Chain A
Amino acid sequence: MLLPVAFFAVFFAWPVVSIVGRGLRPDGRHWELGRFGETLTRPDILDVLWFTLWQALASTALTLLVALPGAYVLARFDFPGKRILRAVVTVPFVLPTVMVGTAFLALVGRRGLLDELWGVRLDTGVWAILLAHVFFNYAVVVRTVGGLWSQLDPRQEEAARVLGASRWRAWRTVTLPALGPAVAAAALMVFLFTASSFGIVQILGGPAYSTLETEIYRQTADRLQLSTAAVLTMVQFAAVGTILAVHARTVRRRETALRLVPPERTARRPCGAGQWALLGAVLLSIALLIVAPLGVLVERSLATPSGYGLDYFRALGHVDGTGTFLVPLTDTVVNSLQYALAATGIAVLVGGLAAAALTRRAGRLVRGFDALLMLPLGVSAVTVGFGFLITLDEPPLDLRASWILVPLAQALVGVPFVVRTMLPVLRAVDERLREAAAVLGASPWRAWREVDLPLVRRALLIAAGFAFAVSLGEFGATVFVARPDNPTLPVAVARLLNRPGELNYGQAMALSTILMVVCAVSLLLLERLRTDRTSGEF
């Protein structure tokens, strides 16, 4: 418990509190709380708040609408390639938003796929943002709702049918209530992610749209208006806190109430025209929404002026003679892997300890800490990054220029995923097993090794894998941390895109493709480790 609390306090709470304090107490003594009223009545700020709220609501609704059928199909139907498909839909979730934006413009932009097929051109604007959010968060719904759906005992619904209920009624009275909390939890997570969306709104929204997150960035990084940023950060805190509190409640309800069966027993081959049509529709929507944009990136990485080829990939291996980077770009892959490994180590250590502590104690304080650990997901990366600058500036903690800051920032985002994956599994371990071991004379350490470890090993691996994938693609926090010049993959992609020239563009696409493949492979490995008890909450 001590380590996670210390980690959280030093690398999250302290920096955030300091930077907010700097904004609200400019002279270092007097709190200027009047700033709240002043800021929150400005028409432009009200516009931002309103847009943040409604686009997040709309994105959430649209994501549920599109992804719930997908969750059903992936949970209940058995068909070849299902594992790959499940990994594929998760790839966007761990991709950096720079790439998601680029990939998405290829689909909905001018003469993108939609334009060529039906003359639909969304370019930039609200629709592009909403669709990109669906693309991004599809996996959240599939994993949260689908994970549970695949374990609901179908016999309950069948029993209702036997007793004379119509198919619809049976579904509505038996399955829906069981799924309800999972749907609510998924909706809240999607809402949280879309309300704090940064890169997508920046790239696809165009200059006319601003969310709370992009506004905090603008006020902090562009204008150095720390007081306005501080007020907005507090608003964000309050909102995220509320969402997390509601989320925690729905999750707790879900954990206690259901009787679950292994997914292999619920999935069957689709039968009948209706089910095949549903499967087809879901596959089509996945193909259009997720595979197509990713495919365009791959296509562009291969399209050289002299026809399709691997030229751009080969170019990555050379030291760039003109010095865009001082190292071959393949080194950025190695850098990324090292950072991600370090971040995973930290995230698993901190998250694992937190999960272990949360299993053993159930006081209100501990539950509060549970919610607190989720906060980094919803709090602006620029706030944390600038907070690092003014807090970690004295030895022994002058880490501002150290490589460790990057994995630390990434781990902040990874920890919540580890906790969420481990917690349900750890809670499911029967306390009596531990007691029995203790009675038979095992030391607590031995009891843990003999009882808990075998049971949670897989969950641990899955948590590690997920933290790894998220760290690999993490971009938000890393860009706000000043770093010695050994760029990670997403940073290198962004930098290449910042230069004119065909070779730079092609290499950016090639690096994106590599990142995508590395993410997909780690996710596929995870799929192989999935078991009935390890669906977790993501």
Chain B
Amino acid sequence: MNTTKAAAAALVAALGVTTLAACGTDDARDAAGKSGGPAPKTVTLVSHDSFNASKEVLAEFTRQTGFTVRVLKSGDAGEAVNKEILTKGAPQGDVFFGVDNTLLSRALDNGIFVPYEAKGLDRIPAALRLDKEQHRVTPVDSGDICVNYDKKYFADKKLAPPQTFDDLAKPAYKDLLVVENPERSSPGLGFLLGTAAKYGDGGTSQGEASGGGWQDYWKKLKANGVKTVDSWELAYNQEFSGSAGGKKAKGDRPLVVSYASSPPVEVLYSEPQPKVAPTGVSTGTCFRQTEFAGLLNGAKNPEGGKALIDFLISKTFQDDMPLQMFVNPVTNDATLPELFTKHGVVIDKPETMAPEKIAEKREQWIGQWTSLVLK
């Protein structure tokens, strides 16, 4: 054992645990200070990878409440929710933000949130407040999943871009659309739910789907040459001919399932910014997604968590949100940035669906969709 010990000591010395310590000290002190201590001055927000807020806005929260926000990104939306379910009672943080209406029932049924009625809730339209009796979750933003089109393609072809779900199945638009797999991508799921909301559920209980409804519609889409890929990133940056990435990758699909906010973002991240967005939105193909935040069951700093939820629906945060996460504010006193009013569209009649219905049908529909479209 002696030799092993000696070897151990030597390796530790020779191999620069020094480098380890040197590069870690700041962080380590930081982490230690934040996770321990009797009265936590830190409030931890767990979210999905797409969460963003500007520095000044988070600093404003600290100024108002004395709490510092620490953001913990926990994977994509579905993964992040599932992680909270798995760690129920001993959560990684105090507040979870980012559960949307497609996953809401799963989160609520598993009891990962405790009720808290946020201050200023009355500024949010009743239609978006999905847990009105118990207040386990608070709506924070909403957005629409819609088909986007490549303006140049349709102008060159002198063809009107499709506007509705029905249009997409017409021969004029054959082989033009790329969608995401609903099992692995939230826009993909949103689009499927949009078609189900629009055409109804005509499928039989298991296996072979038939008898009208969304299943029939998807059969038509398939016959019309719809292409499926696994992720939004692939669909938008590789296949879609209208996006900057898609142009470079020489994508050849001028229609893609994306968001109503994608055109303004396309403008924002161009240099120089074009006067008109290169892409447009088919307004009759939209499904509304609302994202919620909630106080986690077992939070170490519930007071800070409550303050944070209040802050998420404050005007400061709501005004900042559109250009951070490319979603719409939910409170009626928030102002949309010019970029959104100029290049974005307002979707008047998006398709919607109750979270309970989604929870009930989700797996079955995805299964039917898979055998209908992929096989």
Contacts and interface: CB of A to CB of B under 8 A. Distances in A.
A482 interface: yes
Contacts of B172: none
B224 interface: no
A483 interface: yes
A500 B17 contact: no
Interface string B38-67: 000000101001101111000000000000
B20 A341 contact: yes
A444 B92 contact: no
Given A346-B20, A360-B3, A207 B181 contact: yes
Interface string A369-410: 000000000000000001001100111001011111000000
B238 A342 contact: no
B102 interface: no
Contact of A111 (B82, B250, B324): B250
A305 interface: yes
Contact of A499 (B3, B269, B374): B269
| Best-surrounded residue of A326, A452, A484, A501 (most CB of chain B within 10 A) | A501
B11 A221 contact: no
Nearest to A1: B4
B125 interface: no
B52 A224 contact: no
A352 interface: yes
B115 to A, nearest CB: 24
Contacts of A352: 11, 15
Contacts of B35: 395, 398, 401-402
Contact of B4 (A300, A360, A395): A360
A501 B237 contact: no
B31 A356 contact: no
B248 A300 contact: yes
Interface stretch (B228-236, B282-290, B349-357): B228-236
Interface string A198-218: 000011011110000000001
B10 interface: yes
A500 B15 contact: no
A183 B266 CA distance: 50
B124 interface: no
Nearest to A503: B269
B248 A505 contact: yes
Q: For A207, A445, A479, A485, which residue has the most chain B Cβ atoms within 10 angstroms? A: A207
B197 to A, nearest CB: 22
Contacts of B363: 223
Nearest to B337: A322
Contacts of B10: 445, 448-449, 453
Nearest to A19: B86
Contacts of A110: 249-252
B200 to A, nearest CB: 25
Nearest to A111: B250
Contacts of B252: 110
B248 to A, nearest CB: 6
Interface residues of B, number: 82
Contacts of A242: none
B75 A221 contact: yes
Nearest to A507: B269
B126 interface: no
A27 interface: no
Contact of B20 (A303, A342, A360, A480): A342
A495 B28 CA distance: 25
B46 A206 contact: no
A502 B85 CA distance: 37
B19 A303 contact: no
A240 to B, nearest CB: 24
Contact of A356 (B7, B28, B46, B181): B7
A349 interface: yes
A322 B323 contact: yes
B83 interface: yes
Contacts of A353: 4, 7-8, 11
A529 B158 CA distance: 63
Contacts of B248: 300, 303, 505
A448 B3 contact: yes
A292 to B, nearest CB: 15
Contact of B269 (A323, A452, A501): A501
Interface residues of A, number: 81
A357 B4 contact: yes
B71 A389 contact: no
A479 B184 CA distance: 16
A323 B54 contact: yes
Given A110-B250, A222-B78, A443-B6, A500 B87 contact: no
Given A207-B374, A356-B4, A499 B265 contact: yes
A185 interface: no
Given A360-B3, A483-B73, A345 B19 contact: yes
B87 A393 contact: yes
A19 to B, nearest CB: 9
A501 B75 contact: no
Interface string B331-369: 000000000000000000000000000000001000000
A532 to B, nearest CB: 23
Given A352-B11, A390-B86, A322 B19 contact: no
B228 A207 contact: yes
A348 interface: yes
A404 B11 contact: no
A224 B85 contact: yes
A342 B24 contact: yes
A345 B251 CA distance: 43
A109 B79 contact: no
A460 B15 contact: yes
B6 A464 contact: no
Interface in A316-342: 322-324, 326, 338, 341-342
A342 B323 CA distance: 35
A3 interface: yes
Contacts of B268: 322, 501
A218 B228 contact: no
Contact of B86 (A223, A389, A404): A389
A395 B90 CA distance: 12
Contact of A323 (B52, B73, B74): B52
A427 B238 CA distance: 50
B92 A482 contact: yes
A323 B322 CA distance: 11
Contacts of B24: 338, 342, 403-404
A451 to B, nearest CB: 11
Nearest to A504: B269
A394 B35 CA distance: 11
B249 A479 contact: no
A201 B27 CA distance: 35
Interface string B214-252: 000000000000001111111011100001110011111
21 contacts: A109-B249, A206-B228, A207-B374, A323-B53, A338-B24, A341-B20, A342-B20, A342-B23, A356-B7, A360-B3, A360-B4, A401-B31, A401-B72, A403-B24, A403-B30, A482-B75, A497-B233, A497-B237, A500-B262, A501-B243, A502-B269
Given A395-B35, A401-B93, A445-B6, 5 more contacts: A356-B11, A449-B10, A482-B74, A500-B258, A504-B244
Interface of A: 1, 3, 22, 105-106, 109-111, 124, 202-203, 205-208, 218, 220-224, 300, 303-305, 311, 322-324, 326, 338, 341-342, 344-346, 348-349, 352-353, 356-357, 360, 386, 389-390, 393-395, 398, 400-404, 443-445, 448-449, 452-453, 460, 464, 479-480, 482-485, 495, 497-506
Give the top 6 A-B pairs by smallest Cβ distance, nearest first: A501-B269, A502-B244, A345-B20, A445-B6, A503-B269, A505-B245
